Chains A and B, each alone.
Chain A
Amino acid sequence: MKKDIRHVRNIGISAHIDSGKTTLTERILFYTQRIHAMHDVKGKDGVGAFMDSMELERERGITIASAATFCEWDGHEINIIDTPGHVDFTIEVERSLRVLDGAILVLCSVGGVQSQSITVDQQMRRYKVPCIAFINKCDRSGANPFRVIDQLKAKLGHNAVALQIPIGLEADFTGVVDLLRMKAVYFDGDKGEILRLEEIPDPLIELAQAKREEMLDAASMFSDELMEAILEEKEISSDLILGALRRGALARQITPVLMGSAYKNKGVQVLLNAVNDLLPCPDDVENNALDMDQDEAPVRLVTDPEAPLVALAFKLEDRTYGQLTYIRVYQGALSKGDTIINVRTGKKIKVGRVVRMHSNQMEEIEAIPAGYIGALFGIDCASGDTFVTPGLSLTMTSMYVPNPVISLMIHPKDHKSEINLSKALNRFTKEDPTFKTHVNPETGETIISGMGELHLDVYIERMQREYAAEVTAGAPRVAYRETITQRAEFDYIHKKQTGGSGQYGRIGGWLEPLLDKDFEFDNQVVGGSIPTQFIPACEKGFRNCLAKGPKMEFPVTGVKVVINDGASHSVDSSDMAFQAAARGAFQQGYFKAKPVVQEPIMKVVVETPTAFQGPVMGSLNQRRGMIVGAQDEGSLCVIESQVPLAEMFGYSTVLRSLTQGQAQFTMEFLAYKTVPQSIADELEKKAAEQKKKVA
């Protein structure tokens, strides 16, 4: 493994579904000689693209789990994480971005900046990941890379600067003009492997000059030397331009744009050059950890292999020989035989096999130095765990993990499936923090929860395929919850003094709505009206009430409990008595506090041909959706709406039939909002029926 950190790139390839990112990765691996044949994602040869290592991904033509791989290009080591494009799997994208230093944003030259690109862009912004854009599919009918550049500017607010212009478009797309060197680049050979540089074709000279001017204008903002050279009309070297563009790109002030067609083997090698030239090396990026001993004060990490180790486990995979843990080392080095600590559990771990991943094949190595991505075998940990040298107590910043919004009941078909199911659930919940599971204590049913219908669907399929766990799934259920809307007082006495040991406890105080938090307990009791030793029992009693709301038995959130008065009995008061008093007090105050049921509202963005705008809006409206706006994009129209999740089941089928399959939508959690009274009544009726059934 080479050690010059300046020649290392950790990059992700992020994009909207079907923009061709898996094909692009496949081509990159081919040109960097990591693989020796190309296959298509939905190829006729049945092999599937190399990066889609899971059978299911091959079948669906989508990338679900990130596969990490590395390759070498022009003396640089490039670690690539292929990220999923569907919004249901954004935790994967988020995780990848957390460990990456730079990214290629793949855009379709026909579809342009689509809704998922916007989500991915927001994520890149959150983790401050510099990116370059690759406008793919320039060979497609309707391709218009300049329109996509305009959209990058208008929709994403990027300072998008074209480094190339296409030579021909659609079926006539033959190559690109490199605006830095002012040369036409063609991709010859069966697989586009031979680069041929020519003079720019005459009809394109004027456009190329104009676009070069634009590029120089933008780049000169980041280099005085370049600015001077332009003003003094000196010869401008491509290195000078690249230096300026790199500075701009690293500061996320410029998004260099390249173009091509991965499928037609055009433009990929030039993109790789741009990755080396314009994206940061690990040393260019500031990474911080939190010091657990210093009240989580941020600590700047240094990309020095000699420093103490700080590494992050960002992905887990179950392999035949045990768990494979993908690791990014931020500081120090992780070597075979080292003893390291898992900060979360405090457990010591002896490092066994250290490998470098190449999709689903691996290569044994001695160590992973700072700045590199690798994998460990046989380590028991969860995704997001931090590993350090013994004596350190640093943790990487926790990643933003959204709460699940949908759940469904699953039931194994036989005993064998039951055993396999528990293995599968154990692994999936470790791998994906947005996928959760629990057993309903009343019905004994196993419930799985996640971020959307497709998210859970994919896991059910994986249970069957990878673990032979045959399960039947119930109807998806929305994660409703309860909250209160106004302040209400309580004063409750729990008294049981009829025979046996007695129970006595009185609690007075109030409940009030709480924004941005699930629960808060405030003890304002003075003068010992409730003895101090019973206060924790009071809090516990109130907390226990949250799991099942008194109104509809949904979890209760957003409640602040303040206690300021009470009474005790020298003999009959106990922890148990005060817990019971707290339950009674909660019940008493809860209904006075006007409880409401809340439901998850999703942000639904539909992209549809303008001709279907009316029916699509109608379909969203019928689903209790509120349309925020409609954006006319020429032949396409983007409708942004807020729709309750409960109304979105099966929407993809409805949308397909409404628009002859020409529209697509993305959906992500937005907020919890109060359900309308009519729906609340319906839910109440259903809950009553359910109760009757159980009884």
Chain B
Amino acid sequence: MVMLKNELIMRNPMQYLSGQSTDILADGQFGGVLARAGVGKTALMVQIALNSMLHERNVMHVSLNQPVNKTNLWYREVFGHVARQASVAQPEALWESLLPHRFIMTFRAEGFSVPKMEERLTDLVEQRIFVPQLLIVDGLSFDEPVRDSLSELKHYARLHAIRVWFTIRTHRHEDPGPGGWARQLADVEDLFEVAIQLVPVGEEIHVKPLKGLTLTAAHAHLVLDPTTMLVKERGV
């Protein structure tokens, strides 16, 4: 199984983003994936999560307004594509070994608050049911003021050495906010160590680092494959 995992890590397209290290973020850091609706934020998030799970790091996936089954389906789909691409011999066995490293928690958007999520997290951690090392928050609206909540979560993340990724939904034809950042990020940009934007260009979706990430010259042009939504090098 270890060999299978290593093989998949080696062939996982996420290495283009994370480079030599196992993860893009360090403990306590925030990362954001910005894009318009339907461009591939969740797909990229799931790739980040799977990469972490392959490194045997626990991932808590918090999804707003998506049922557990649907979120699970995303993982199955993306894992299926990655495994096929890497020609993994026993994908089912590998999938089973990854599952204990994932916990999906879903909330209704209207009932969600960061303190509520922290309460649930603490519950899990204290009982040693699940101790996350990576937290993914998918679907939080950055159109409303979130600075206070995020500051609080940042404190929590640092305290518990958790890396946190957010999807940030932007809107079409919207002027950038102060500092040239997307309006949704402008007010909280200082809390984020890494930001990536997904930009549809023609038929392609370009992966554009905005902050805290430098792509090596060899992999300077990353895109999402429109059929699998996996990260790949442009033109490959």
With a cutoff of 8 Å between Cβ atoms, the chain B residues found around residue A638 in the complex are 68
| A618 touching B108, Cβ below 8 Å | no
Give me 19 A-to-B residue pairs in the complex whose CB atoms sit less than 8 angstroms apart, sorted by A's number: A154-B65, A154-B67, A515-B92, A613-B120, A613-B123, A614-B124, A618-B129, A628-B99, A629-B68, A629-B105, A629-B106, A630-B68, A630-B104, A630-B105, A630-B106, A631-B67, A632-B108, A633-B108, A673-B96
The answer to whether A631 touches B129, judged by C-beta atoms less than 8 angstroms apart, is: no
Find out whether the CB atom of A621 lies under 8 angstroms from the CB atom of B129. yes
Distance to closest chain B CB from A627 (angstroms): 6
A630 CB contacts on chain B under 8 angstroms = 68, 103-106, 120
Whole-angstrom CA separation of A621 from B100 in the bound complex: 12
Residues in A whose Cβ lies below 8 Å from that of B104:
628-630
Q: Which of B72, B111, B124 contacts A617 (CB 8 A)?
A: B124
The A602-617 residues at the B interface (CB cut-off 8 A) are 613-614, 617
Whether B127 lies near A618 (C-beta < 8 A) is yes
Q: Mark A625-645, 1 if CB is under 8 A from B, else 0.
A: 011111111100010100000
Contact residues in B for A627 (Cβ distance below 8 Å) = 103, 129-130
The smallest C-beta distance from A617 to any residue of chain B, in angstroms, reads: 5
Instruction: Kindly provide the distance from the CB of B72 to the nearest chain A CB, expressed in whole angstroms.
Output: 7
Count how many pairs of residues, one from A and one from B, have CB atoms less than 8 Å apart in the complex. 55
Q: Identify which of B71, B108, B127, B129 contacts A629 (C-beta below 8 A).
A: B71
* A3 on interface, CB distance cutoff 8 Å: no
Q: Using a CB-CB cutoff of 8 Å, which residues 637-672 of chain A contact chain B?
A: 638, 640
Name the residue on A nearest B100 (C-beta): A626
Q: Which residue of B lies closest to A642 (CB)?
A: B99
Closest 7 pairs (CB-CB, A-B)? A629-B104, A629-B68, A614-B123, A632-B107, A621-B129, A631-B106, A618-B127
Beta-carbon nearest neighbor of A620 in chain B: B129
Extra contacts, 20 of them, besides A613-B120, A631-B106 (Cβ < 8 A), are A614-B123, A614-B124, A617-B123, A626-B99, A626-B100, A627-B103, A627-B130, A628-B72, A628-B104, A629-B68, A629-B106, A630-B68, A630-B103, A630-B105, A630-B120, A632-B106, A632-B107, A632-B112, A634-B111, A640-B68
Complex alpha-carbon distance, A613 and B120, angstroms: 8
Centre residue among B96, B129, B130 by max chain A CB count within 10 A: B129
Shortest Cβ distance from A155 into B: residue:
B67
> For residue A613, which residues in chain B have a CB less than 8 angstroms away from its CB?
120, 123
Interface core residue of B71, B100, B127 (most chain A CB under 10 Å): B127
A155 to B70 alpha-carbon distance, docked (Å): 9
Chain B positions within 8 Å of A515 at CB level: 92
Residues of A close to B112: CB separation below 8 A: 632
Query: How many Å from the CB of B114 to the closest CB on chain A?
Result: 14
Task: Give the contacts of A103-117 with B (CB-CB under 8 A).
Answer: none
Contacts of B26-82 to chain A: CB distance below 8 A:
65, 67-68, 71-72
Contact, CB under 8 Å: B111 / A629: no
Residue ranges of B at the interface with A (Cβ–Cβ < 8 Å):
65, 67-68, 71-72, 92, 96, 99-100, 103-108, 111-112, 120, 123-124, 127, 129-130
Would you call A632 and B111 a contact (CB within 8 A)? yes
For B63, give the chain A residue with the smallest CB separation.
A629
In which size bucket is the chain A interface? 20 to 34
Residue with the highest number of chain A CB atoms closer than 10 Å, among B67, B111, B130? B67
List the A residue with the shortest CB-CB distance to B122: A614
- The residues of B that contact A154 with a CB separation of less than 8 Å are 65, 67
Docked pose: A614 CA to B124 CA in angstroms: 7
Are A614 and B68 interface neighbours, CB within 8 A?
A: no
For residue B104, give the distance in angstroms from its CB to the closest CB of chain A.
3
The interface residues of chain A lying within 8 Å CB-to-CB of B124 are: 614, 617
User: How far is A630 from B102 in the complex, measured between Cα atoms in Å?
Assistant: 12
Q: How far is the CA of A627 from the CA of B130 in the complex (A)?
A: 9
Q: How far is the CB of A563 from chain B (nearest CB, A)?
A: 25
Give bound CA distance, A617 to B111, whole Å. 20
A594 to chain B, nearest CB (A): 13
Nearest CB in chain B: distance from A519 CB, A: 20
Q: What chain A residues lie within 8 Å of B111 (beta carbons)? A: 632, 634
Measured between alpha carbons, how far is A454 from B178 in the docked complex, in Å? 63
Bound Cα distance from A631 to B70, whole angstroms: 11
Q: Measured between alpha carbons, how far is A467 from B81 in the docked complex, in Å?
A: 57
Most interface-central of A613, A614, A628, A632 (chain B CB within 10 A): A632
Q: How far is the CA of A681 from the CA of B68 in the complex (A)?
A: 35
Chain A residues near B127: list those with CB within 8 A. Answer: 614, 617-618, 621
A154 to B108, CA, bound (A): 11
- Point out the residues of chain B lying under 8 angstroms from A628, CB to CB: 68, 72, 99, 104
> Could you tell me the distance between the alpha carbons of A302 and B100 in the complex, rounded to whole angstroms?
51
Question: Nearest CB to that of A671 among chain B residues?
Answer: B96
Closest to B110 in A: A634
Contact B129 A617 (CB under 8 A): yes
Complex Cα distance, B130 from A621, in Å, reads 9
Complex formed: what's the CA distance from A614 to B106 in Å?
A: 15
Closest to A485 in B: B93
Give A491 Cβ to nearest chain B Cβ, in Å. 27
A225 CA to B92 CA in the complex, in Å? 50
Complex CA–CA separation, A154 to B67 (angstroms): 8
A150, B109: Cα distance in complex, Å:
14
- The CA-CA distance from A167 to B196 in the complex, in Å, is 51
A433, B1: Cα distance in complex, Å:
38
CA distance A288 to B76 in the complex (A): 33
Q: Shortest Cβ distance from B112 into chain A, in angstroms?
A: 8
* B-side contacts of A632, CB under 8 Å: 105-108, 111-112
Closest to B61 in A: A629
Closest to A632 in B: B107
- Min Cβ gap B101→A in Å is 10
B105 / chain A contacts, CB cutoff of 8 Å = 629-632
A11 CA / B124 CA spacing, docked (Å): 45
**How many Å from the CB of A612 to the closest CB on chain B?**
11
Give Cα distance in the complex from A627 to B124, angstroms: 11
CB distance from A151 to the nearest CB of B (A): 10
CA gap between A515 and B89 in the complex, in Å:
13
A154 to B110, CA, bound (A): 15
In angstroms, Cα B100 to Cα A154, docked, is 26
Whole-angstrom distance between the Cβ of A318 and the nearest chain B Cβ: 40
Shortest Cβ gap from A370 to chain B (Å): 39
User: Chain A residues with Cβ under 8 A from B103's Cβ?
Assistant: 627, 629-630
Interface residues of A in 282-328 (CB under 8 A from B): none
Q: How far is the CB of B173 from chain A (nearest CB, A)?
A: 27
A631 to B61, CA, bound (A): 12
User: A174 CA to B108 CA in the complex, in Å?
Assistant: 31
Instruction: Name the residue on A nearest B71 (C-beta).
Output: A629
CA distance A614 to B105 in the complex (A): 13
